[in-house]
Structure 1
Amino acid sequence: MDVHEVLPFPPVPSASIAGRTLQESVYAQRAEPRRLPEDAPNILIVLIDDAGPGLPSTFGGEVRTDTLTRIHQEGIGFNRFHTTAMCSPTRASLLTGRNHHRIGNGQIAELANDWDGYSGTIPKSSALVAEVLKQYGYATSAFGKWHNTPAAETTPAGPYDNWPSHIGFEYFYGFLAGEASQYEPNLVRNTTVVRPPKSAAEGYHLSEDLADDAIGWLHRHHAFTPDKPFLMYWASGCLHGPHHVAKEWADKYAGKFDDGWDAYRERVFHRAKEMGWIPAQAQLTPRDPRMPAWEDIPEHERPFQSRLMEVAAGFGEHVDVQVGRLIDEVDALGYGDNTLVFYIWGDNGSSGEGQNGTISELLAQNAIPTTVDMHLEALDELGGLDVLGSPKVDNQYHAGWAWAGSAPYKGMKLLASHLGGTRNPMAVRWPARVAPDAAPRAQFHHCNDLVPTIYDIVGITPPRVVNGVQQDPIDGVSFAYTFDQPDAPGRLRTQYFEIMGSRAIYHDGWMASAFGPRAPWVPGLPPGIGDWTPDRDTWELYHLDEDWTQANDLAGQRPDKLAQLKETFAIEAARNSVYPIGGGLWIPVFHPELRISTPYREWNFAGDITRMPEFCAPALGNRANRVSIDLDLPADANGVLYALGGTGGGLTCYLEDGILCFEYNLFIVMRTKIRAERKLPVGKARIDIETTCPEPRPAGPLDITIAVNKEQYAAGRVPVSAPLLFSANDCLDIGTCLGGPVSLDYFDKAPFAFNGTIEKVTVRYLS
C-alpha cells in the first residue's frame, strides 16, 4: 500500500548517525517532508442553515446578501448544487464525501435508531476532510452549528470521540445540537462548555460571536503558524429557527412582504430569470393544494405573518454581514488571493417547521396543535409584534414563506423528493486560480462532492487507512473541472436522495421522485401514517435537463423510464444502507418512547450542576418523577432552584421573596403557574416536587404537588405537557437559569441565581 494511502504518515527517521560517543557521532537535523504543494490554498467553507434558493438577493430573492453577491461576482456560481434536505445528513455528507445513509446519518442525530443507515454516528471508516487535511499539514478549525455528535454524547462529560475537536478539527467553537437561541446558546469551546461573552441585554448575538471568534482564530493562526494553510468550516445557526435578530435588522424590511408569499414567489422567479440564474424556459411550479394561499390568511393575522418574514429576512441579512466580516479579515491578513471560499446558501431548503407561524417553533416537533389566535394572544401579553425576533420568543415564519423562499421549486426542507428541499445555491471564489465568470455552472452536483473536489485541488489521494481504520470509498465526484470549463458535461451521473420516506433518484438528466408520507407544512401527523408503506407511494418522473423545476410529470408517458429509475434507486438504497425506507420516521412517528434519552432512572446532583443538555437530563416535563432538594434557606430567599429548557418552553422551580413558585411554560402559548401561599421557613429544609401523570398519554396532563419538610405547600395541574422535549439545545441548570429564562417572572433578573445553599438534588422516576 502506498505511503500516501495510510494516515498518519510514518515518523521521519533521524538524519543523524549515533556513535558510541558524541565525538564519534554525526549530527544532522531531520527534515519533515512537505506533504502539500507550495501553493496549497487555504479553504473556507461557509454553510448557512435552513435557507432556500429563493431568498438571497444574489440570485433574485429579496433578502439582502451583499457578501454572497461579492463572492459570486469575484468567482463563480453553481445553480444545480444539491443537499440532502435535512441538517445532520447534509453536514455529515459535506464533511466526509460519502452518502448520508452510508455514514449513519439518514436523519438528524437526535432521532438516531439502531439501523446502520440511521445510527447517528459517523463511522471512523469515513474520516472527515479535516482529519485528512490536518495530517497533511493544514491547520483546521470549525465554528457554529455542528449537529453530528450523537445526542447522548453531548454532555460536558463526553465521551468526546465524536466531538469536532476529536475528529479532525483542532479548534471548535459553537454548539453541538441542531439549533440554538441566538441570545443564550449552550456553547462549547473544544470540549469545555462556556458561557457567551456577554448577555442579550448587552447586545449579544450568536452570529456575531461566531464571526468574532473565527476572526480571533485567524489572528492566532497568522501569528503562530503562518506557514500552514488553513481549513475553516463556518456553519451558522441562521436561518434555522428560532429566528432571532435585533429589531433594527427586521425593520429594514418593514412592509416589504405585505402582499404575501404567492406574490413574493412570482417576483423572485422573474428576477432569477432576468439575472440568468435560472433558464428562460424554467417554469414556476404551483402551490400544493395543502398549502394556504396568502389570500386565505385572515386579515387580522396578516401583520403577524408579514412581520415573521421581516424578522427572518433581517436575520438572513445579518448573518451574511457576519460572513462579510470574516471574508474582510481573510483579505486583510493577505490570505484572500489563495483562499478557496465555498459559500453554500443552505444545508437544505427553507424550513416549514414554523407551520402556521409560531412564537415557539418547538411546538411543531412536539405535534401540539395551536391556533394563530393563541399565538397572537400570547404575543399581546409580551408586547406585540415588536417582540418578534427578541429573546422573549422563539418565533419562526409560516411555512408559506418557506415555500416562497424555495422558489421556483415545489419542495422545502424535509422533502428529498423535490428540488426546493435539495437544491441550494453555492458561490466559489479563488482569485489565484478561478477567473470571475457570471455564467452559472449548471452541472448536477451534490454536497458529497465537496471533499473529493478539495482532494483533487490539493493533490491528495483519498486515504485507504486513517488512524488504523480501513476507509469507505468516497461517493462524491470532484467538480473542480467546472472552475474553468463552465459548459463541460457533468461528471456526476447518479445520486439518490431520501429523508424520512421522501425520496428521489437522479440519473443522467432524469429524476424520479416519491413525495413521501407527510407534507412538512401540515401540522401534526397525517391520518394513517402508522400504516404507511413506501410500496403505496406514487412516483413522479421528470426530465431535468429539459424541465428545470420538476414542473411536468412524465410518469404516465414514460413508464419504462420510471421503472428503470426506480430500479436504480433500489440498487443505490441497498448499496448505501437506506433500507428500511423511511427509517428516519421510526422514532418520531412510530416509537417516540424510544427517543434518545439517558438510561438512568435516578440522579443525585450536587447543587452546582449546570448545562446538562435536555436530551441527557431527566425528563421532568413528561414523566412521573420526584425532585427532592436539600437546601439551606435564607430569609426571604430568592432565585432559581432548577430550570429545564428555555424561553421558548420549559419548566422551572424558583423562590421569590421566600415564596416557592413552579412554572410549566408550554412553548409560550400556555403557562401554568403554581405558587405557595406562605413563605418557606428559614434554615435547612427539604423540598419535594412530585409530578404524576393522571392520563398517561402523549401531551397528557400532569399533576404537580410541592411539599416542604413533608408538608404540602402547593399543588396544581398542568393541562397539556410537551411529549417530546422543550428545547434542542438548552439544558437543565441547578441553582440558576443560564439559558433562556423559562419564566417571565425572572426574565429581567436572569440568570437569577439562588441566594441560599443547595446541598443536593435527587431526581427519581416514579414509573
Structure 2
Amino acid sequence: MIRKRSLSLSLILATGFLLSLTPQQNKPNIIIILADDMGYSDIGSFGSEIETPHLDAMAEGGLKMTQFYNASRCCPTRASLLTGVYPHQAGVGHMVNEREHPSYRGMLSDECITIADALKENGYTTLMAGKWHLNARKEHWPVKHGFDRYFGLLDGANSYFGNRPYRPNQKLTYALDNVPYTPKEGFYATDAYTDYALKFIEEGKEKGKPFFLYLAYTAPHWPLHALKEDIAKYKGRYMKGWDVLRKERFRRMQEMGIIGREVKLSPRDENVPEWESLSEEEKRRWDEKMAVYAAMVDRMDQNIGRIRQKLKELGEDQNTIIMFLSDNGGSYEAIDGRGFTAEILEASKMPSSSPASFTSYEYEGANVSNTPFRKFKRWEHEGGVSTPFIAYFPGTIKLGSTSQQPAHIIDLMATSLDLAGASYPATYKGKSIKPMEGLSLGPLFNGQKWQGHEAIFFEHEGNRAVRQGEWKLVSIYPENEWALYNMKTDRTELHDLSARYPERVKEMEKLYEGWAAHANVVPFAELVKLDKQRKSK
C-alpha cells in the first residue's frame, strides 16, 4: 500500500504556486538531459565557440538559468537529481564506494524514490538511456528504480567505441533493461544512447501514456573519443591558446548577460602554464585534444536535435518540456599512474583523435571549459558546482527568458511532479520516504515570481559551501578555512570578504552545521579514518 502526500499541498507550502494544466491539456512529456563533466561555458548560448545549434535554439526559445547548481561530482549529482534530496540523504554522499553508513552506502537509499518511481505511480511511461553510475549491482540497476526501459552504461566511464575496462579487475557493463549488452561494430556511445531513447519514445507513444525520459550522456567525460567528421570541424581552432579562448568566451558571456559586467575573469589556474611556454608540438597536441572534446559536445547537440525531430514527427513537440544541464564542472583529471591499467596508460600517450587512445584534457582544458570561474569538478567553488541550465517548453516558457536566481538539482523532482500534476508518496514499498528538499521551478517557467531557496548547501570530500542570497561561504579540504564571497559582484570568487564580515561568516557557518546534521554528513577526515580502519581489518 502506498500512502501519498498531496503534491499540491507540499508545493503550495514550498513555493506558493502550482503549475496548472487546463482540463483540455494532456500531461506533458518530461525530458531531462544530463551532460557529463561539461563546463559552464561549453555550449554556444553560454559563450562557447563550440557549435551547439539545437541547445542554443532551446535557450532562445525557452529559459536560461545562469546560477543553477549541481553537486560537483557525477554520482552525488545523479543521486540528488533523481531523488529531490541532497546526495547524503540519498545514500550517495561520496561515490559508489560501499560503506556501512546510511549517507555513504554508495547506492540509492530505500528511504528515497526516484522521479521515475514517482511518475510511474502517476501514469507515466519511464525511460532512461545513458550513464547510471549509482551502483552496478544488479539489484540497483535503473529498472529496479522505477524505469520501464533502460539502455546504457552502468559504470562511470568507458570507451565510446565499445567496452574497455580501464582499472585493474574492472568489469564495465552496458545493459539493455536487465540484461548485459555487448556493443557491436560501429558503436558510438552518444549515438547509441539516442538510438535507444528514440526507440523507447516510439514504443511509449503506442501506449498512449505521457513519458519521462532521463537521457544521461557520457559526453564529454574522458576518454576523449569522437567521430572523424566531427573532429575535422574543430582542428586548428584552439591554436590561439587557452588565455585567448578564455577571454573570448568571457566577452561573449558578458554580451549575452550570462555574467554581469562588474564580474572579473578569474586568472589562469596555477596548474596551467603560459601558452607561449609550450613547444609547437605541445600546442598541436592540445589543439587536437580540444578539437576532440569540442566534437564530443557537438555530437551530443546533434543527438539532442534528433530527439527534438522525433518529438515533432510524433506530434509531441508542443507537449514536451526539455531540461538540460551538466553533472559538474569541467574535469581536471589526468589519465596517469593512479589506478589505471598498463594498457590504458600506454593509450594515454596516443593522439586523442585515434579511437584506440584514452586521453583527457586535464587542467588546461577544464580551465577553458569553466570560464570564467575558479576550480573544477570535485570542489565547491563555482567552477565545480555551476552548470548551464536550459528549460524549453513551447507555449509555456517565455521565449528567450533568463533567470539569475540560484536553483539546484534537488528542484528537478518537485518540478517534474508539478508539471505532471503528480503526487509524492509518504511511503513506498513499505518504507517511509524522506520529504523532498527541492522547490518547483514552475513559477519561473510561467514568468512569475519564484520564492527560491533560503539557502543551498554543498559538501563533497570535505569541500563545503553555503549559498544564501547573494552570499556564498566556501572552504577547501583539508585547510577548512571559510572564505566569503559576494555573488552579485564577484561570482568568480576573487575577493574574500570573511575578515570584513565575520558575523555573516558565523551565521552562514551555523546554517551549514545545521544542514550537515540534518543531512547526516560525516566530516571527510572521519570518513577517511573509517576507511583505513576497515581496510586494516
TM-score in same-fold range (> 0.5) = yes
Q: Whole-Å Cα distance in 2 between the matches of residues 91 and 592 of structure 1? A: 29
Q: Deviation of residue 6 (structure 1)?
A: 9.4
Which amino acid counterpart does residue 472 of structure 2 have in structure 1? M
Q: Tell me which residue corresponds to 1:166.
A: 144
Q: Within 2, Cα distance between the matches of 1:232 and 1:582?
A: 38
Amino acid at match of 2:248: R
Alignment partners' CA distance in 2, 1:375 and 1:232: 35
- Determine whether 1:434 maps to 2:397: yes
Give the C-alpha shift of residue 176 in structure 1: 0.7
The one-letter code sitting in structure 1 at the alignment partner of 2:195 is D
Asked if residue 406 in structure 1 is aligned to residue 370 in structure 2, the reply is yes
Distance apart, 1:300 and its partner CA: 3.3
Q: Deviations over 1:214-273 (max 9, x none)?
A: 1111221222x12x1100101001111111112221121111111222221111000111
Structure 2 equivalent of residue 544 of structure 1: 487
Asked if residue 285 in structure 1 is aligned to residue 266 in structure 2, the reply is yes
Q: Which of the residues 144, 155, 163 maps onto 1:177?
A: 155
In 2, Cα distance between equivalents of 1:261 and 1:576? 39
**Bigger mean CA deviation after superposition, 575-584 or 298-307:** 575-584
1:86-114 C-alpha deviation (Å, 9 max, x unpaired): 001001100110000111212221x3323
Q: Kindly indicate whether the alpha-carbon contact (under 8 Å) linking 2:419 and 2:442 is maintained by their aligned counterparts in 1.
A: yes
**Partner Cα distance (2:288, 2:67) in 1:** 31
Q: 2:523 aligns with which of 577, 580, 591?
A: 580
Listed one character per residue, the Cα deviations across residues 381-412 of structure 1 (whole Å, up to 9, x for unaligned) are xxxx3xx2333111111311101101111021
Measured against aligned partners, the alpha-carbon deviations of 1:31-89 in whole angstroms (never above 9, x if no partner) come to xxxxx995211001111100011111121112211111121122111111100000010
Q: 1:584 to 1:499 in 2, by over 3 A?
A: farther
Q: CA deviation at 1:489?
A: 5.4
Match of residue 342, structure 1, among 301, 304, 323:
323
Residue 193 of structure 2 is matched in structure 1 by 210
* More off after superposition, 170-179 vs 395-404: 395-404
5+ residue gaps in structure 1?
8-35, 355-360, 380-384, 518-535, 600-767
Q: Does 1:515 align with 2:476?
A: yes
Determine the structure 2 residue equivalent to 1:501.
Answer: 462
2:398 alignment partner AA: A
Corresponding residue number in structure 1 for 2:283:
302
- Letter matched to residue 429 of structure 2: N
> Conserved in 1, the CA contact under 8 Å of 2:41 and 2:388?
no
Quick one: structure 1 residues 583 and 497, their matched pair in 2 at CA, closer, same or farther if it must change by over 3 Å? farther
Q: In the alignment, what sits opposite 1:607?
A: none
Q: Is the 8 A contact 2:31 2:214 kept in 1?
A: yes
Q: Which runs of 5+ in 2 are unaligned?
A: 8-22, 164-172
Partner of 1:10: none
The DSSP-based 3-state class of the residue aligned with 1:61 is coil
Match of 1:366 in 2: 339
- Counterpart of 2:405? 443
CA deviation string 1:731-755 (max 9, x = no partner): xxxxxxxxxxxxxxxxxxxxxxxxx
SS in 2 for 1:352: coil
> Does structure 2 conserve the Cα–Cα contact (< 8 Å) formed by 1:113 and 1:586?
no
Aligned to 1:392: 356
What is the identity, as a one-letter code, of the residue corresponding to 2:356? K
TM-score w.r.t. the length of structure 2 is: 0.89
Deviates more, 1:297-306 or 1:254-263: 297-306
Q: Is the 8 A contact 1:107 1:584 kept in 2?
A: no
Distance 2:535 2:37 in 1: 27
Q: Does 2:427 align with 1:462?
A: no
Q: CA deviation at 1:169?
A: 0.4
| Equivalent-residue separation in structure 2 for 1:482 and 1:489 (angstroms) | 6
**Matched residue, 1:92:** 79
Give 1:63's aligned amino acid. Answer: I
Whole-angstrom distance in 2 between the partners of 1:76 and 1:215: 25
Q: Which residue of 1 aligns with 2:238?
A: 257
CA contact (8 A) 1:42 1:230 kept: yes
Between the aligned partners of 1:287 and 1:314, the Cα distance in structure 2 is 24
Counterparts of residues 65-80 of structure 1 (less than 5 Å) = 65-80=52-67
- Structure 1 distance, partners of 2:347, 2:201, is 43
Aligned partner letter, 1:500: E
2:307 & 2:460 partners in 1: Cα distance? 33
**Deviation, structure 1 residue 560:** 1.5
- How far apart are the structure 2 equivalents of 1:592 and 1:245? 43
Amino acid at match of 2:260: P
Contact 1:6 1:466 in 2 (8 A): no
Contact 1:389 1:395 in 2 (8 A): no
Task: Give aligned pairs, total.
Answer: 511
The superposition leaves residues 483-514 of structure 1 with CA deviations (integer Å, 9 ceiling, x where unpaired) of 1336x355112111111111111123211111
CA 140–368 in structure 1, closer or farther in 2 if over 3 Å, else same: closer
The residue that corresponds to 1:117 in the other structure is 103
Over 3 Å counting, the alpha-carbon distance change for 1:94 and 1:5 in structure 2 is same
For residues 270 and 74 of structure 2, the distance between their equivalents in structure 1, rounded to whole angstroms, comes to: 27
1:40 aligns with: 27
Contact map agreement 2:288 2:353 (CA 8 A) in 1: no
Percent of matched pairs sharing the same residue: 29
Q: 2:347, 2:357 within 8 Å by CA — same for their partners in 1?
A: no
* 1:567 paired to 2:510: yes
From 11, 22, 42, the counterpart of 1:55: 42
Deviation at 1:116, TM superposition (A): 2.7
Task: State the SS of the aligned residue for 1:79.
Answer: strand
User: Whole-Å Cα distance in 2 between the matches of residues 53 and 65 of structure 1?
Assistant: 14
Pairing 1:652-731 to 2, within 5 Å after superposition: none
* Structure 1 residues 251 and 591: CA distance shift in structure 2, 3 A: farther
Secondary structure, in 3 states, of the residue corresponding to 2:76? helix
Q: Is the 8 A contact 2:474 2:482 kept in 1?
A: yes
* Partners of 1:128 and 1:84 in 2: CA distance: 17
CA contact (8 A) 1:499 1:584 kept: no
Compare the two structures and name the one with the higher strand fraction.
Answer: 1
Q: Is the 8 A contact 2:65 2:390 kept in 1?
A: yes
Instruction: Answer 1 or 2: higher relative contact order, Cα 8 Å, separation at least 6.
Output: 2
- For the 8 Å contact 1:182–1:244, the answer to whether it is kept is yes
Aligned to 2:93, which of 89, 92, 106?
Answer: 106
Q: For the structure 1 residues 327 and 594, does the alpha-carbon distance in structure 2 shift closer, same or farther, using more than 3 Å as the test?
A: farther
Letter in 1 for 2:211: F
Question: Highest Rg: 1 or 2?
Answer: 1
User: Which residue of 2 is the match for residue 132 of structure 1?
Assistant: 118
Contact 2:462 2:523 in 1 (8 A): no
Match of 2:57, SS state, is helix
The AA in structure 2 aligned to 1:562 is V
CA contact (8 A) 1:305 1:398 kept: no
Q: Is the 8 A contact 2:62 2:392 kept in 1?
A: yes
The Cα shift of 1:166 comes to 1.2
Report the residue type matching 2:353 in the other structure: G
Counterpart check, 1:557 vs 2:500:
yes
Q: Deviations over 1:659-710 (max 9, x none)?
A: xxxxxxxxxxxxxxxxxxxxxxxxxxxxxxxxxxxxxxxxxxxxxxxxxxxx
Q: Secondary structure at the match of 1:64?
A: coil
- 1:175, CA displacement in angstroms? 1.1
Letter of the aligned partner of 2:143 in structure 1?
S
Name the aligned partner's letter for residue 138 of structure 1: Y
Change over 3 Å in CA distance of 1:365–1:453 after alignment to 2: farther
- Secondary structure at the aligned position of 1:136 is classed as coil
Q: Does 1:233 align with 2:203?
A: no
The answer to whether the 8 Å contact 1:71/1:343 transfers is no
What is the match of residue 141 of structure 1? 127
Structure 1 counterpart of 2:305, one-letter code: G
Deviations 1:160-207 (A, max 9, x none): 2x21101100111101101121111331011101222x31xxx32111
Displacement of 1:559 in angstroms is 1.5
Question: Aligned partners of 1:452 and 1:540: how far apart in 2?
Answer: 31
Aligned equivalents of 2:237 and 2:272: distance in 1? 21
